[in-house]
Amino acid sequence: MAELGVAASVIAVIQLTSQIVLLLGQYGNRVKSARDDISRLHNQLHSVAEISKAAQQLLEEQNNERLKTSHKLHVHFRDIQARLQELEREFNRSGTQTAIGRIRYHAFTWPFKAGKIEKLTGDLERCTQAISTALQIDQANLLLQLDSNTSLLDQNIIVGNLQVAEGAGFDSHAEAHNPTCHPQTRVDILQKISQWSEDFRADPMLLLSGKAGTGKSTIARTAARSFATLGILTASFFFRRGEGDRGKALRLVTTITTQLVENQPALVPYVKDAVRMDPRITQKSIREQFNKLILDPLSKAHTVENQPSLIIVVDALDECNDEDDIKLLIELFCSPRTTRNLRLRFLTTSRLELPIRLGLNTVNGAYRDLTLDEVPSHVIKNDIKIFLDQYELTLDRHKDSVTSVNFSHDSNFILSGSKDRMVRIWSARSELVASASDDQTARIWSTATGELRRILQHSDVVLSAVFSHDSKLVVSASNDSLVRIWSADTGELQKVLEGHQDTVNSVAFSHNSELIASASDDKTIRIWSTSTGEPQRILNGHNSLVTSTLDSRYW
């Protein structure tokens, strides 16, 4: 009986929409203070009417039992009906209906409080998007049901004729073990990405930029998984420099097209036609492939007005081996044609290297930029703290709450301090982990295998460790009154700085890493030369133990 229910709900929504449009027309230019609300509501009612008529036509033309999403349609149309009834009640309460016959005597007053229409239209927009998605699923299913065997054969023919880059998809085996964001981290960035994907007027490309190690790929995988769950991920391609076809753009379009026909079955006949009309299409230029295999099929396929965006995630574009291809792809991703009716969107991540900047200069700002380098430091540190507090590798983790975190200056490593009296050095690239412990050792591990790679021997508890600004050196402070300088790459001990008479609590590099400052329980701060290890200065004057050195930004 769900079929009868959805049909009745659709009819009720169509009737209510017409009535409210008539009521809304009585206000027109009479209520100047509400012009924005009136325009917003009128546009949304038009969208509701269009999606309702499309649903009604589909219900009338097809056997309802063949519609896979009829229950979802019923729920969403009932939701819209409830919102429209709420609107109608507000209009009736204001006396608008009784005034229609004697307009000249009635003073029109907008019956809605500030923000009310914005909320209602937002609710209506979410419902229409959900209905649009459901209708697309039904249309695709009906298309396949016309001749499912032939359609499946067509899809197999397409896949067989298009060479793909193995492992490039976000859900491929090659990417399966790479991390996604912890649910409580990167919240603001992921929310902005979600808002971009839902905004009908948004730019066709969102560029997530940042230096190496800032988490671009992790965010891209997280967003791709979220889009896939919502049913709006069309395809994904994760570039990897030096990894065969993943390091070049040669197979990008064909890889995306293969995923496209798998996720959007309605496109199968159009892609098949493109391959049939030009059997050598895969040998043509990237631009021609992009137009004939992606844009043309999308433009020919029947789409419902206000359909959700179709998202393609392209990660690490800067790792493509051809600079000209990089610039071309940016041009194609930002093409006005991708936004005109097609609603095709590209979430792209990259470092802002020269080819990327040159490509961006050619598209006249037709993209949105989210820069991870500009994320406030307190947000980054809070995310790291959440991550480290809950990180559960087979390697030893902190035994107590994490009290401080910090990035190395190239963002490739993370330092964490804890109440367990340990300082740990983590690789942001997730290749190596180094731990400093009260067992008088620092150990370097492989995160992939758990294998112990190297042991750095101290003679007492290690209390502090920091990176030089080029991240090539680590300086550590210990209970044994010594300061040690290590190679961050090899773990080799470079120098031992002797002079303190008691525990060294804290160390810091100067802004140019040429000097090291150390603070001790012997009530002194000592300044050392990084290159020679020789003491440069002793700062006396404290009346008790010194627990911290000056932030390197100030000396």
Strand arrangement of the beta sheet that strand 233-238 belongs to: 233-238, 310-315, 344-350, 205-209, 368-371
CATH number at residue 225: 3.40.50.300
Instruction: Render pLDDT for 422-435 as a digit per residue (tens, 0 to 9).
Output: 656 665 554 455 55
Task: Specify the residue for token string 């399966």.
Answer: 176
160 SS3 class: helix
Residues 112 and 38: beta-carbon distance below 8 Å: no
How high is the pLDDT of residue 98? 44
In one letter, which amino acid is 427?
Answer: S
Q: What is the mean pLDDT of the chain?
A: 78
Q: For residue 271, what are the CA distances in angstroms to 256, 268, 289? A: 12, 5, 11
Q: Angle of helix 35-61 relative to helix 2-25, nearest 10 degrees?
A: 150
Q: Residue 29 pLDDT > 70, yes or no?
A: no
What CA–CA distance (Å, rounded) separates 506 from 518? 6
Statement to judge: residues 74 and 152 lie in one domain = no
- Residue 50, judged by CB atoms within 10 A of its CB (0-12, 13-18, 19+), counts as middle
Pairing of β 525-529 and β 535-539: antiparallel
Statement to judge: residues 190 and 296 lie in one domain = yes
How high is the pLDDT of residue 103? 41
Write out the two tokens for 181. Answer: 């964001």
DSSP assigned state of 294: I
Region of poorest pLDDT, from 180-189, 337-346, 507-516 = 337-346
Q: What is the CA radius of gyration of the chain?
A: 31
Q: Residue 505 pLDDT > 70, yes or no?
A: yes
Residues 162 and 294: beta-carbon distance below 8 Å: no
Residue 508 backbone dihedrals phi, psi, to 5 degrees: -155, 145
Write out the two tokens for 272. Answer: 């098949």
Q: Residue 123 pLDDT > 80, yes or no?
A: yes
Statement to judge: residues 165 and 109 lie in one domain = no
Instruction: Render pLDDT for 269-314 as a digit per residue (tens, 0 to 9).
Output: 888 888 888 888 888 999 999 999 999 998 887 555 556 789 999 9
CATH number at residue 398: 2.130.10.10
Instruction: Render pLDDT for 448-465 as a digit per residue (tens, 0 to 9).
Output: 455 555 566 667 777 777
Task: Specify the residue for token string 């598209």.
Answer: 363
Model pTM score: 0.51
Q: Torsion angle, CA of 419/420/421/425, rounded to 10 degrees?
A: -100
Q: Which of 144, 175, 208 is the last residue of a domain?
A: 144
Statement to judge: residues 409 and 493 lie in one domain = yes
Q: What is the DSSP secondary-structure string of 374-399?
A: GS-HHHHHHHHHHHHHH---SS---S
Residues 315 and 216: beta-carbon distance below 8 Å: yes
Statement to judge: residues 384 and 347 lie in one domain = no
What CA–CA distance (Å, rounded) separates 422 from 464? 8
Statement to judge: residues 242 and 221 lie in one domain = yes
What CA–CA distance (Å, rounded) separates 39 from 88? 17
347-366: average pLDDT:
94
How high is the pLDDT of residue 204? 93
Determine what percent of the chain falls in helix, strand and coil, rounding each to the nearest 5: 45, 20, 35
118-134: average pLDDT:
82
350-373: average pLDDT:
92
Identify the band that residue 546 occupies on the pLDDT scale cut at 50, 70 and 90.
Answer: very low
**DSSP β-bridge partners for residue 209:** 350, 371
4 SS3 class: helix
Provide the number of structural domains found in the chain: 3
Q: Which of 336, 357, 374 is the last residue of a domain?
A: 374
Statement to judge: residues 254 and 298 lie in one domain = yes
Rounded to an integer, what is the distance from CA 240 to the centroid of its chain? 18
Pairing of β 310-315 and β 368-371: unpaired
Statement to judge: residues 162 and 303 lie in one domain = yes
Statement to judge: residues 224 and 297 lie in one domain = yes
Instruction: Render pLDDT for 402-428 as a digit per residue (tens, 0 to 9).
Output: 555 565 555 556 666 665 656 566 655
Q: Residue 178 pLDDT > 50, yes or no?
A: yes
Residues 253 and 186: beta-carbon distance below 8 Å: no
Statement to judge: residues 417 and 548 lie in one domain = yes
How high is the pLDDT of residue 414? 62
211 SS3 class: coil
Statement to judge: residues 218 and 127 lie in one domain = no
Residues 511 and 469: beta-carbon distance below 8 Å: yes
Statement to judge: residues 396 and 366 lie in one domain = no
Q: Which of 144, 177, 200 is the last residue of a domain?
A: 144
How high is the pLDDT of residue 72? 67
Domain that holds residue 62: 2-144
Neighbours of 437 (CB within 10 A): 17
Element at 367 (helix H, strand E): none
What CA–CA distance (Å, rounded) separates 361 from 296? 26
Residues 467 and 504: beta-carbon distance below 8 Å: no
